[in-house]
Structure 1
């Protein structure tokens, strides 16, 4: 059962994100981000985490640095707007660069990503789920309203997609694998923002559902490394099936639901003539699919010995229903246009 103070800070965390989303002024957005930071730190200092103090300190330092850069850019822009002289174009570009860089640092996009896998490694699965999903909403909503430097944004997308695929190849820790996977998905989300913003909302929703399905399995069996997979692979065949297909869906392999937002993003990029960017994103996704499939080898292709020890199974109707809906959702989306 969740303790009262954790429930209180969790509610403050959700409310702070809503403050950022509903704000019209830069300063109120910055206040919402600071409340968000102060609310998640008590949740990270948890005895169930592996390195609670280290992860909280790394997260606090990086987020504070990003908040300081953002506040500096906000104050500079206000001072320039209040001045009586004409504002140089270079000053505006420099301020946009500072604002976007601070938001990329908050989301963990490459090359500002070094803190993200290290913080994830010291957290338990419930905190990791918050870091990969909810903590991305506030800075990305600010980015949607401040998309002005398309050349800079394109380079961030390219670096995030390529670096996440390469860095995830030699990892055995599931938290780091999901962290680099999240960086790759950040690149796709930023690409979906370029022209049509609703694709980002659909992408983020589907990514949250698929990540939640995987994290529930890891949390239930207390698995943190790939060599612990025998704990679940010898317990429930239906669980093996859902686990493997969720990983493939998270990688964007058709005909699963995870392919739908990538399909829409590719269509949007090609219609706006971002051909080279689309090609690099697809190649980087193939690299992430490689280490997803490598994780599934022990469950699908390798003969394994049945253990005498029996683990408690997940027999939750809602869990299997959510997995079925998330995996078969693309079929539903395919049939919907036929009725209009």
Structure 2
């Protein structure tokens, strides 16, 4: 049973995102993001995890910094005689990328998620990305987006490949999917929403089971897979789906994103994204193959 204060803060978390995405002014959006930040921090406290306090402080500092940049860029954008609109818009977008944990502004994200419970991690990887993504879609810049997308793909692939912590694997996976969402947002507003919905469903599937069995590291996962064939099948299907392997549902949003990018002549970007996503898919396949081929006693 959730404590009463967490239910209260969860409701303000939901409403603050709604304020942000339905606001007609930049200041209203900023206010929604601030309420969102102050609602999530109390939810992060967890008496069984000593790192949750550290994570909440990290989260507060990073988000407060990003909020300051957003407010500053709003002031600059509304007073164009101070500085060029493009520059202030770039600051604004960079702050939003920091808020959502997109590369190269991602450094806080995997480290912070390591100190959270699975349920908080799920909120951070799904719900907390809605407001920054929607606000970014109002002020999209294709050139910045392309760089961010490529960075997301590279960092999630190369940094996730040697992780043993399931939370960090999920965090780098989130960064990878964020890259796909931003790329689809450049050309079609509807596709990123479909992508986000499917990604959220896949994340909920995986995280609920990881939370149920209290699994945080690959070794624990392999042990549970060895003892329970149903869980093994479930994880194999979900991990491959998260990696975007056909015929699983995770392939569908990637497919429509690729189709959109190709139809808009973004061939080079599509090629780079596909190649770099293969690295991410590799470590999902490695996890699933290890669980099939090896017993837990062989995995040290």
Q: TM-score, normalised by structure 1?
A: 0.85
2:281 aligns to what? 289
2:95 corresponds to 1:102? yes
Taking the aligned partners of 2:289 and 2:220, their CA distance within structure 1 comes to: 13
Taking the aligned partners of 1:241 and 1:21, their CA distance within structure 2 comes to: 38
1:18 aligns to what? 18
Taking the aligned partners of 1:131 and 1:230, their CA distance within structure 2 comes to: 25
* Selected match of 2:219 from 223, 227, 238: 227
Taking the aligned partners of 1:19 and 1:127, their CA distance within structure 2 comes to: 21
Contact 2:223 2:296 in 1 (8 A): no
2:196 aligns to what? 204
1:127 aligns to what? 120
2:294 corresponds to 1:302? yes
Q: TM-score, normalised by structure 2?
A: 0.96
Contact 2:54 2:115 in 1 (8 A): yes
Taking the aligned partners of 1:234 and 1:177, their CA distance within structure 2 comes to: 20
1:257 aligns to what? 249
Structure 1, unaligned runs of 5 or more: 81-86, 306-340
1:191 aligns to what? 183
Deviations, residues 148-193 of structure 1 (Å, cap 9, x unaligned): x211111111111111100111111111111111111110000010
* Selected match of 1:118 from 82, 104, 111: 111
* Selected match of 1:173 from 135, 151, 165: 165
Larger-Rg structure? 1
1:277 aligns to what? 269
Taking the aligned partners of 1:303 and 1:235, their CA distance within structure 2 comes to: 10
Deviations, residues 233-265 of structure 1 (Å, cap 9, x unaligned): 133212211111100000000001000000000
Indicate the RMSD between aligned Cα atoms, in angstroms: 1.3
1:334 aligns to what? none
2:51 corresponds to 1:59? no
Moved more, 173-182 or 222-231: 222-231
Length, aligned pairs only: 297
Structure 2, unaligned runs of 5 or more: none
1:41 aligns to what? 41
Taking the aligned partners of 1:49 and 1:146, their CA distance within structure 2 comes to: 38
Secondary structure (helix, strand or coil) at the match of 1:195 reads: coil
1:218 aligns to what? 210
* Larger helix share, 1 or 2: 2
Taking the aligned partners of 1:62 and 1:51, their CA distance within structure 2 comes to: 17
